[in-house]
Amino acid sequence: MRTILVTGGAGFIGSNFIHHLLQKYDYRVVNLDKLTYAGNLDNLRDIQDDPRYRFVHGNICDSQLVGRVMAEVDAVVHFAAESHVDRSIVDPGAFIQTDVYGTFVLLEAARQRGVERFLHVSTDEVYGQSLPGQRFTEDDPFRPRSPYAASKAGGELQCRAFIETYGLPIVIARPANNIGPRQYPEKAVPLFITNALDDQPLPVYGQGLQVRDRLYVEDHCEALDLLLHWGELGEAYNISADNERPNIEVAETILELLEKPKSLIRFVEDRPGHDQRYSMDSAKMRALGWSPRHDFTAAIEKTVAWYRENRWWWEKVKSGQYQEYYQRMYGRRLAEAKPYEG
Ligand code: NAD
Ligand code: DAU
């Protein structure tokens, strides 16, 4: 039986991926997670007693711990990161630490161990924003624009160095904007849904005209599964769903699905350096036999249904320190917001 190290497995995509792996394969999974504000063991509570699953509470920057964990695994899927753009604007240091240095610590331990494969989860944000008509392919240059995106680019460049210098068997994924169950409600979609369920305002940045490609998390997990097993070593793969939508349309759709009034929408002060659009060509990924099963409508409907049915999950998450975060990020902005005029 193979043993896979998943880093950041208590977060949104990592926990969905662990569920996917344990459902489909007879693998052992070791989940190394620091349990930052975004890490949540509730995300894994249905599999916590599975004998094939082991949780290790720790930091990917801790080289001694990482060395010990690496000694028992055959392959690595690396999700652990500080992942929220707005937090990176307020406090970029934590992003450099985890997303760049932490990635280096993992790569070095993987090299010492001689792992079979290292799947690095990067992001479409490394390319920077797409200009009108522009769709990035894997050979396009990196032009990251936020501290988060620059940190992810830094982590990915470490991977590139380990491929070229040491021949480490790395495959790189560059996924689009995921939505689905168990996403921390700092990200736009779960924030809009949970606010709407509580009849609270939906803070849409600027005029809501920025565009994101919404990839359903299960589709993403299927793509990562393919890359873990069949991705060509040393290669990077765009994972996009062709579900590009402006944020205002996403907010309106959520309100329609929940039968809530559009007057809940508020246009608030924009994110500094806000990337207008991300758009990627995923022909290389699709040539491996992958295609997303969810169009935008199916993805958003399933996502809204999950939050409607799992109030216990997000009410717990939105208590305590989340309230301080929300007040800090949105208090003044909402007080100065412009109303929606349809
Ligand atoms: P998330 O914020 O929900 O989860 C991150 C997890 O990493 C948490 O469980 C956290 O506790 C853990 N973590 C953070 N720092 C750590 C450290 N130093 N040591 C160990 N664990 C640590 O993130 P997510 O949305 O699930 O994203 C997962 C990965 O996918 C990230 O690398 C992110 O950059 C990338 N990505 C995310 C999206 C998206 O739309 N969410 C899209 C493209 C790429
Ligand atoms: O594209 C991949 C990236 O997607 C990942 O690498 C990141 O980890 C992930 O956080 C996500 O980044 P975004 O910045 O696109 O996601 P976010 O949910 O923060 O914002 C989505 C869009 O919604 C963006 O245009 C900003 C806007 N927005 C966001 C928030 C939090 C709002 O209008 N209001 C909000 O309150």
The answer to whether position 292 is within a domain reads no
Residues 27 and 151 in one domain: yes
Span 57-69, average pLDDT = 98
Whether residue 72 is found in the same domain as residue 155: yes
Predicted local confidence at residue 1, as pLDDT = 67
Cα separations in angstroms, 108 against 111, 114, 159, 213, 270: 5, 10, 10, 33, 39
For residues 32 and 171, membership in a common domain is answered with: yes
Establish if 279 belongs to a structural domain.
Answer: no
The per-residue pLDDT for range 100-129, each reduced to its tens digit, is 999 999 999 999 999 999 999 999 999 999
Pocket of ligand 1 (CB under 6 A): 7-8, 10-14, 32-36, 38-39, 59-61, 79-83, 98, 102, 121, 123, 152, 175, 177-178, 184
CB-based pocket (< 6 A), ligand 2: 83-86, 123-125, 176-177, 187-188, 191, 203-205, 210, 212, 247, 271, 278
Note if 116 is an active site residue. Answer: no
Which tens digits make up the pLDDT trace of 262-317? 999 999 999 999 999 999 999 999 999 999 999 999 999 999 999 999 999 999 99
Indicate the average pLDDT of the chain. 97
Q: Are residues 218 and 321 in the same domain?
A: no
Shared-domain flag, residues 231 and 255: no
**Residue 127 among the catalytic residues:** no
Is 284 part of any domain? no
305 and 217 within one domain: no
**Annotated catalytic, 278?**
no
Residue 207 maps to a domain: yes
Work out which ligand 1 atom sits closest to the CA atom of 35. 11
Q: Are residues 125 and 264 in the same domain?
A: no
Number of domains in the chain: 2
Q: Which residue in 330, 322, 314, 324 sits closest to 12, CA to CA? A: 314
Is 24 a domain residue? yes
Residues 136 and 201 in one domain: no
CA 39 / ligand 1 centre spacing (Å): 8
CATH of residue 260: 3.90.25.10
Annotated catalytic residue: which of 127, 148, 205, 278? Answer: 148
**Contact in structure between 170 and 111 (CB atoms under 8 Å):** no
In a domain, 252, yes or no: yes
* Same domain, yes or no: 78 and 201: no
Whole-angstrom Cα distance, residue 27 to residue 102? 25
My answer on whether 110 and 206 are in the same domain is no
Q: In this structure, are 160 and 217 located in the same domain? A: yes
Atom of ligand 2 nearest to the CA of 210: 25
Kindly state whether residue 289 falls inside one of the protein's structural domains.
no
Do the domain assignments include residue 48? yes
CATH of the domain at 229: 3.40.50.720
Task: Look up the domain containing 260 and give its range.
Answer: 188-211+244-270+298-339
- 197 and 95 inside one domain: no
Atom 31 of ligand 2, nearest CA residue: 188
- The structure's pTM equals 0.98
